[in-house]
A = this chain, B = another copy of it.
């Protein structure tokens, strides 16, 4: 890891020469590389907006002052009074949720004024472990987007699933040494933390020893349980969904991350907390953004826009998505437009729209009027030449290793009497648990589309034990065919739902050929598909192409009778054994509240 670390330092840290250049420009001994004249700066330090010129010296900002006092410059651009803000920084995001690489993600958000993200590569770590995290770090190099990493803290999420890999204390400790790593990611096992579990607390100690942060995830936690969670030293949370919850956490010392994701949208509820009296204690995050939301609404810029439109102070809203996040993670020279800071600057037409006229990253213009135009000298996020990169690339390729399945393997013997059925709900991650008498044919429980009872299978796909488990689900509405996915939170085993077993098998086999992705099968053929050839989670294709495929998949699912609005996302969450109520992993049905594997037969 040593050589990759040294390289990352080169890319992220400022050199003595760069510093001297900035001082020289400010002192008038050499011209600025670029001067932005007549802008109106949103100053995160004093909360004011005032007219300024900003001079760049290479990657750094050399001066922020009046037009009269501006240094000479190689190039000058007149902003005619447009607003200037620091490049936005997303405080917590899972890039894999957008189904694309860091490079494609950057293409989506940089033109909107986002120049940094703190990501949690939790998904790829569940598939590919440390090499998966290394792959993400390497594929983020050279982008016009700073990608900082928090080390996934809960891989695997539970003992009731077979993930592709595990991150123990040793792996977490080693990754914390990487200079792009800023902390330990959301500590999702909050009951274990509250229970004083030594391994969970050990993760906080490791973060602290590395002088980095331990991030939180404590949905609904309150009172003494919340206090116990925070007593560990965990410093943030992004799971508040009500004003009351946000207020309590803020007062208890939480760095309160206000989230506006694709599924969970908390900004409206927490908006009353977005005020300058809460100083450096509020941050904006997206958590998870599906491709179409990223394209239509943007990344963390979406929170700034919506907060301002809802009446928040624009300078403070920008601060929540820049300086406050940088401060929380101890990111140096980031989050403000000021001398000595990185020249990560957004030029904005109007405050309410937060439309980026131009975006500068490290002193170079990388987007204009919404078009992504990264400088030719910047990399494309590919790490072909980095030492270790071959191994990391290999670790995220060909990750779909299914057992040989025949139709007979999907047979579900009738246990007699009522059985457990998962109930999928529209636009919710929460599932329900029903108990129904199944439809039985020849001694086996079968799918019965007329009753909206479908077969569900979760197949271990990491090549670790070749196991699978079967169950029933309602709520999808499929009348024919099957849907399958290698995105299956958080273990990311293959999930398939179907009205007939042959279609389910065909879908699974197609995913094996693709190396992962989403497939819709009907009428004996593949109707639509999205290859996610990297770890079975993301693709090298650009966002717009992903959106096209997703629309085709949703259309195909609808043609099969699907009634859920986002059936593939719903399918990907049916295996998540940490969110109530009933789930299916490769090890069986999970009663989440009871915290155990349960049989198909109700009451067992």
Interface residues of A (CB under 8 A from B): 13-16, 19-20, 22-29, 43, 45-48, 50, 57, 60-65, 69, 71, 193-196, 198, 201-202, 204-205, 208-209, 211, 223-225, 227-235, 247, 250-253, 276-281, 327, 330, 332-333, 336, 338-341
Residues B336 and A19 in contact, CB atoms below 8 Å apart: no
Residues B43 and A251 in contact, CB atoms below 8 Å apart: yes
Residues A194 and B332 in contact, CB atoms below 8 Å apart: no
Which residue in B25, B196, B230 is a CB contact (below 8 Å) of A24? B196
A84 to chain B, nearest CB (A): 14
Q: How far is the CA of A129 from the CA of B260 in the complex (A)?
A: 54
Q: How far is the CA of A201 from the CA of B17 in the complex (A)?
A: 9
Which residue in B29, B71, B224 is a CB contact (below 8 Å) of A63? B224
Residues A341 and B253 in contact, CB atoms below 8 Å apart: yes
Q: How far is the CA of A332 from the CA of B209 in the complex (A)?
A: 11
Residues B57 and A23 in contact, CB atoms below 8 Å apart: no
Q: How far is the CA of A458 from the CA of B267 in the complex (A)?
A: 67
Residues B250 and A45 in contact, CB atoms below 8 Å apart: yes
Which residue in B15, B50, B71, B230 is a CB contact (below 8 Å) of A338? B230
A29 — which chain B residues lie within 8 A by C-beta? 196
Select from chain B the residue with minimum beta-carbon distance to A251: B46
A71 — which chain B residues lie within 8 A by C-beta? 224
A22 to chain B, nearest CB (A): 4
Q: How many copies does the complex hold?
A: 2
A247 — which chain B residues lie within 8 A by C-beta? 46
Residues A250 and B201 in contact, CB atoms below 8 Å apart: no
A50 — which chain B residues lie within 8 A by C-beta? 251
Q: Which 4 A-B pairs have the closest CB atoms?
A: A253-B338, A26-B228, A279-B279, A22-B231
A172 to chain B, nearest CB (A): 14
A6 to chain B, nearest CB (A): 13
A211 — which chain B residues lie within 8 A by C-beta? 211, 330, 332
Count chain B CB atoms within 10 A of each CB in A277, A278, A336 and give the residue with the most: A277
Residues A228 and B341 in contact, CB atoms below 8 Å apart: no
Residues A340 and B230 in contact, CB atoms below 8 Å apart: yes
Which residue in B46, B227, B232 is a CB contact (below 8 Å) of A65? B227
Q: How far is the CA of A19 from the CA of B205 in the complex (A)?
A: 8
Residues A280 and B277 in contact, CB atoms below 8 Å apart: no
Select from chain B the residue with minimum beta-carbon distance to A328: B327
A225 — which chain B residues lie within 8 A by C-beta? 27
